[in-house]
């Protein structure tokens, strides 16, 4: 039940944004074995004045940088997370063509009791 928030600079075409959704979903299916149609994702676009980044950690980022925050149940292993990071970079490189340097991913672990996916607190 991953929940994804994707942030990027405004101006990319709809097909580019759709390719991000598709690649992220495929990466989660491959690395985390998420169920079919488990797709809960948003994209927020920001103008240049409201989207900031630097070259910290020796990474030469560009204006094509994409921030991806993934909130998941706290049951994912370190190996699954590493596989997910690699698969995301690989698939976003293939489509829509984002450089690995421009893929910034953060995973937030959350216990199941902190989730309600409809009809009240069904995981609590």
Active site residues: 2
Distances (CA, A) of 64 to 9, 22, 45, 55, 70: 7, 18, 12, 13, 19
Structural tokens at position 57: 């950690």
Residue 28: HSE in the Cβ half-sphere, 13 Å Cα cutoff: 25
Length of the chain: 124
Reference 65, options 83, 52, 84, 79; nearest CA is 52
Alpha helices by DSSP H, 1-124: 14-32, 78-94
């Amino acid at each position: 039940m991953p929940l994804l928030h994707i942030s990027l600079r405004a101006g990319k075409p709809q097909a580019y944004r759709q390719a991000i959704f598709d690649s992220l979903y495929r990466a989660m299916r491959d690395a985390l074995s998420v169920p079919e149609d488990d797709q809960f994702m948003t994209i927020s676009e920001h103008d240049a004045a409201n989207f900031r980044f630097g070259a910290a950690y020796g990474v030469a980022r560009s204006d094509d940088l994409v921030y991806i925050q993934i909130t998941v149940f706290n049951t994912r292993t370190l190996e699954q997370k590493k596989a997910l990071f690699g698969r995301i970079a690989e698939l976003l490189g293939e489509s829509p063509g984002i450089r690995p340097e421009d893929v910034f991913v953060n995973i937030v672990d959350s216990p199941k009791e902190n989730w309600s996916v409809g009809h009240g607190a069904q995981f609590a």
